[in-house]
Amino acid sequence: MATSTQPTPPMAMATFAREPAAARDRDEKHVEYILVASFDIDRGSIMEHQYPGPVGGDEHMLAELMLPDQTHLRSQDWTVFFLHKDAAAEEEDEEDGLTAKKRRRRQRSEAGQASAGAEDEDEEDEDSSDDDGPVDGPPLVYVLNLVNTKQDNTVKRGAVVKAMAICTRHSFLHIYKPLLLIALEQYFANPHMDTLAELYHAVNSMDLSLMPKLNVFERFILQSSDTKDLFIEKFEAIIAQQMAANDRPSLSHKESKDDTTALPTLSPKDVNQPLARRYGLPRDTHEFESVVNYANIPVPIKVPTALSPETVGDFSLIKLITTFSTPHSTSPVAFTPTHPHLTTNGSMTHPIIVLLNAMLTQKRVIFMGHNLPSSEVAEAVLGACALASGGMLRGFTRHAFPYTDLTKIDDLLKVPGFIAGVTNPAFAFRNEWWDVLCDLSTGRVKISSKIEQAPLTEGVAFFHNQPPSSAHAPGTGGMSALAHAGASLSAGLGGSAAPTGATGGDLTGDAAFMQSVIKAIEERHGENAIRSKFRKWVLKFTRLAAAFEETVYGASALHIQPSPKLPNSPFFANADSPGVSNTTADSPVDGDGTRKGSQFDADHLPPEVTGHGYVWPTPGLKSAELAANATRIEGWRNTRSYYNCVQDLAGLYIHRPVKTLDLQHLHDKLAKLRLGHEPAANIYLALCAAVQTDSEICQLLAVCIGGTWDHRQQAGSVGQGSGLFYLAMGLFHPRVEVRESVADLLIRIQEHEAGRHFWAGVGRFGRVAFERVLAGREARLEAGAADGGE
């Protein structure tokens, strides 16, 4: 059986993978199957057609998923669900894909394009190793389903109910909604296989060959920015290559063998506006615009350029957050019972934080929408997956069921840590089926009284046993911080007790975080801004977890850091900064981005350069925050998303341009700590020495635009998307070599395709300092030349 339509996926194996980039290969199918189901008064849900062939598996169950409960009460409804293809079929698909790729390379070579395309091919190979690795189980097939009910007095029940579904490997399956609306109307008028065939071929003719393939850092930068022409150079380069290929006279096979002349290429500046419009230069680089001609209608399609893991379809985090925040703010209700993994701020923990904790600690979560369309519960499930993922963690959508019903409850309960959407109110009365119930109709979140209690772990006991003098913040000790976070010792030992009163402080920062989120929603910052906030929250959580493991267990699987071997800088070769400079900017570069012949002795590197991980102003604040987050970190450490994160970080490290420095750590030190002149100089010089190439600059920019959430600071300040501010502060350092080194780094950033947008955000104060440093160096060099001439 090629495909399983059972709602129970196999247990995910934790293997390195990231969200595949959008299809660029012309041979790849955008849509694999098109299905049509209908409801028969005598036989129930039946599958009418499957094109181009049967999906396989239980057709009756598949038809039931396409026709949700109470669908006859609505004229239209949408559902989303996933199919899990078996491993044998996937191996065949992978072999076919490799064969197709080799064939395309051979064809390009025979057409005389090998020379011009070599660089692009190398980039494609590098990106493919980053993006298209094996996933934790066979890749999902995403199914977008449209149900229509048409009144017809000539049939039983007085209505005809039909559903049409598109099965695709693309997580951005929402782009097919306009096509499904047209196609289902066409099918009602002409209920034959030809209607499905026409849609199938129209969709698969969509051309995404001009869509650039971004690496992980470029995707992060694009998602975190609202700049509409960010990375426009990548689109222009592809268009220029396409124009050059079209303008080159076709050569015979013999001529192409003898011709060693490279294919002429055009710079982005050579792309004129009429041709740019012809080839589809986007108005907003966040989306790639294409057109599908179907039923004599040109249907515009906008494909997201930057995709994140666990982001499926179109959903609104703002809608999800508002649904549960409004009742909590107007009429708060304490959680009963509490749970150390969930109520990390006590019984009055914000319901969104409870949901987030439930997802991270792999609890069974159900979204119930009584009398609501199935599309709303499906959107809530998909939104919750993206909420907990933050575009970084994986392991949620593979065990998510955007819509299910009572007939599949036995299979559902076999899945640990599922996230399911239902419309039947019977689920609310069976609290043994779920750990957390999110009622979309009332906006309330409930914790099951039969939830399994968390055991007392070594990490929780570590902070409990610490003397107050070694883990203190003003007015709190290590265990008091843990208690304020809603994780009492009795709860950790398996009881149900937890503090029910006020937390006495926001040691986890959750309350401040939710206040900032709600304020951003009220100020209409937009969906991308809200997603960015949760991305930063998840990033901080993973860095806290790494620090927690190092503190408690002595090492962390979430951190990979070799002995420092840094590219050198001439400014390190002086009496104040250790290191031997035996390279220049023109020195050969190794494959890992370090310059040949340049290496620092790890025993003599300043400690502020070799550090890693999250940054706290004081050890007391570190202990208090780790204690407050101890229970949910311990709850996360045994989940699918944790193991996926460990392997994702290992895979990311392989392709990380700067491996020997924790750029986030160094940037956070500059932002959060009051450093002396020498420690700051060492950090600035280390950053300037390590960041030389475009790929290294891209990694640094991802750090600058991302930052991490810090509840001790006001929104928009320290480390939270501050751009180049803290790098530009190096222009004011007392040492001239530091100022000039920072200025050189900023010049390299200005010349970078994304860096120029960051430089545009630097204020007048920083620009004046930059010009002053360059003018001072020029005057010093001229003076030195004049003295030498004399």
Tokens representing 331 are 């009429």
Q: What is the pLDDT of residues 343-395, one digit of tens each?
A: 999 999 999 999 999 999 999 999 999 999 999 999 999 999 999 999 999 99
Q: Can you list the positions of beta strands (E) in 1-95? A: 3-4, 31-40, 44-51, 76-85
Predicted confidence band at 253 (pLDDT cuts at 50, 70, 90)? Answer: very low
Predicted local distance difference test score (pLDDT) of residue 27: 53
Q: Half-sphere exposure of residue 656, counting CA atoms within 13 Å on the CB side?
A: 21
Tokens representing 103 are 């064939």
Predicted confidence band at 84 (pLDDT cuts at 50, 70, 90)? Answer: confident
Predicted confidence band at 786 (pLDDT cuts at 50, 70, 90)? Answer: confident
For residue 129, is pLDDT > 90?
no
Q: Give every CB contact of residue 92 below 8 A, 6+ residues apart in sequence.
A: none
Q: What is the DSSP letter of 21?
A: P
How many other C-beta atoms lie within 10 A of the C-beta of residue 43? 10
Distance CA 559, CA 146 (A): 44
Predicted local distance difference test score (pLDDT) of residue 10: 33
- How distant is the alpha carbon of residue 542 from its chain centre? 14
Q: What angle do CA 353, 358, 364 make, to 5 degrees?
A: 145
Predicted local distance difference test score (pLDDT) of residue 529: 92
- 561 or 245, greater pLDDT: 245
Tokens representing 715 are 């929104």
Q: Is 77 left (phi over 0), alpha (psi -120 to 50) or beta?
A: beta
For residue 656, is pLDDT > 80?
yes
Q: Give every CB contact of residue 511 below 8 A, 6+ residues apart in sequence.
A: 345, 350, 503
The residues with which 344 forms a beta bridge, in sequence order, are 346
Map tokens 């999800």 to a residue. 320
Predicted local distance difference test score (pLDDT) of residue 739: 97
How many other C-beta atoms lie within 10 A of the C-beta of residue 187? 21
Predicted confidence band at 58 (pLDDT cuts at 50, 70, 90)? Answer: confident
Predicted local distance difference test score (pLDDT) of residue 158: 75
For residue 432, is pLDDT > 60?
yes
Kindly report the pTM of this predicted structure: 0.82
Predicted local distance difference test score (pLDDT) of residue 716: 41
Predicted local distance difference test score (pLDDT) of residue 156: 75
Kind and range of the H or E element at 299? strand 297-304
Phi first, then psi: give them for residue 664, nearest 5 degrees. -60, -40
Map tokens 């900032």 to a residue. 516
Per CATH, which fold does 317-520 belong to? Rossmann fold (3.40.50)
Distances (CA, A) of 617 to 473, 481, 485, 622, 624: 11, 17, 21, 8, 12
Distance CA 629, CA 503 (A): 14
Q: What is the pLDDT of residues 597-620, one digit of tens each?
A: 333 444 467 888 988 999 999 999
Predicted local distance difference test score (pLDDT) of residue 97: 52
Predicted local distance difference test score (pLDDT) of residue 230: 93
Q: Where are the domains of the chain?
A: 20-304, 317-520
Q: What is the pLDDT of residues 695-708, one digit of tens each?
A: 999 999 999 997 77
Predicted local distance difference test score (pLDDT) of residue 75: 84
Predicted local distance difference test score (pLDDT) of residue 273: 54
Predicted local distance difference test score (pLDDT) of residue 715: 41
Predicted confidence band at 102 (pLDDT cuts at 50, 70, 90)? Answer: low
Q: Give every CB contact of residue 524 below 8 A, 6+ residues apart in sequence.
A: none
Q: Reduced to 3 states, what is the DSSP secondary structure of residue 116? A: helix
Predicted local distance difference test score (pLDDT) of residue 669: 95
Predicted confidence band at 517 (pLDDT cuts at 50, 70, 90)? Answer: very high
Contact 161, 39 (CB under 8 A): yes
For residue 12, is pLDDT > 80?
no
Q: Reduced to 3 states, what is the DSSP secondary structure of residue 80? A: strand
Least confident of 46-50, 72-76, 507-511: 72-76
Distance CA 344, CA 354 (A): 8
Distances (CA, A) of 252 to 111, 258, 265: 8, 10, 21
Per DSSP bridges, beta strands 400-401 and 419-422 are parallel
- Alpha carbon dihedral 373, 376, 381, 385, in 10-degree steps, equals 160
Predicted local distance difference test score (pLDDT) of residue 456: 87
- How distant is the alpha carbon of residue 201 from its chain centre? 31
Q: Give every CB contact of residue 619 below 8 A, 6+ residues apart in sequence.
A: none
Predicted confidence band at 399 (pLDDT cuts at 50, 70, 90)? Answer: very high
Tokens representing 484 are 């304020």
Question: Per-residue DSSP letters for 728-750?
Answer: HGGGG-SSHHHHHHHHHHHHHHH
Per DSSP bridges, beta strands 472-473 and 476-477 are antiparallel
Q: What is the DSSP letter of 711?
A: T
- 544 or 107, greater pLDDT: 544
Q: What is the DSSP letter of 344?
A: B
Q: Cis omega (within 30 of 0) on the bond before 52?
A: yes
Phi first, then psi: give them for residue 525, nearest 5 degrees. -75, -20
Distance CA 367, CA 238 (A): 44
Q: What is the pLDDT of residues 518-561, one digit of tens each?
A: 999 999 999 999 999 999 999 999 999 999 999 999 999 998 86
For residue 246, is pLDDT > 80?
no
For residue 127, is pLDDT > 70?
no
Predicted local distance difference test score (pLDDT) of residue 388: 97
Compute the residue count for the chain.
Answer: 790
Distance CA 524, CA 269 (A): 37
Predicted local distance difference test score (pLDDT) of residue 157: 72
Tell me the pLDDT of the chain averaged across its residues: 80
Mean pLDDT is highest, among 268-282, 475-489, 555-569, 645-659, for: 645-659
Q: Reduced to 3 states, what is the DSSP secondary structure of residue 151? A: strand
Single out the residue of 632, 634, 627 nearest to residue 477, CA to CA.
Answer: 627
Q: How far apart are the first and last CA of the chain?
A: 88
* Segment 13-34 mean pLDDT: 54
Distance CA 438, CA 448 (A): 11
- Report the share of the chain in percent with pLDDT over 90: 59
Q: What is the pLDDT of residues 309-341, one digit of tens each?
A: 899 999 999 999 999 999 999 999 999 999 999
For residue 713, is pLDDT > 50?
yes
Distance CA 350, CA 358 (A): 12
Phi first, then psi: give them for residue 325, nearest 5 degrees. -80, -35
Tokens representing 206 are 């969509």
CATH superfamily of 20-304: Longin module (3.30.450.200)
Distances (CA, A) of 639 to 11, 79, 339, 377: 12, 28, 17, 24
Residue type, 727: L
Burial class (CB in 10 A: 0-12, 13-18, 19+), 98: exposed
- 482 or 451, greater pLDDT: 451
- 652 or 708, greater pLDDT: 652
* Segment 283-293 mean pLDDT: 93
* Segment 428-433 mean pLDDT: 94
Q: Reduced to 3 states, what is the DSSP secondary structure of residue 439? A: strand
For residue 460, is pLDDT > 60?
yes
Q: Half-sphere exposure of residue 430, counting CA atoms within 13 Å on the CB side?
A: 12
Predicted local distance difference test score (pLDDT) of residue 344: 94
* Segment 279-306 mean pLDDT: 90
Single out the residue of 721, 712, 728, 735 nearest to residue 769, CA to CA.
Answer: 728
Predicted confidence band at 761 (pLDDT cuts at 50, 70, 90)? Answer: very high
Least confident of 1-15, 241-255, 383-397, 439-453: 1-15
Map tokens 């060959």 to a residue. 209
* C-alpha radius of gyration, the chain, whole number: 29
Predicted local distance difference test score (pLDDT) of residue 274: 53
For residue 402, is pLDDT > 80?
yes
Distances (CA, A) of 684 to 157, 346, 735, 768: 75, 42, 11, 19
Kind and range of the H or E element at 94? helix 87-110
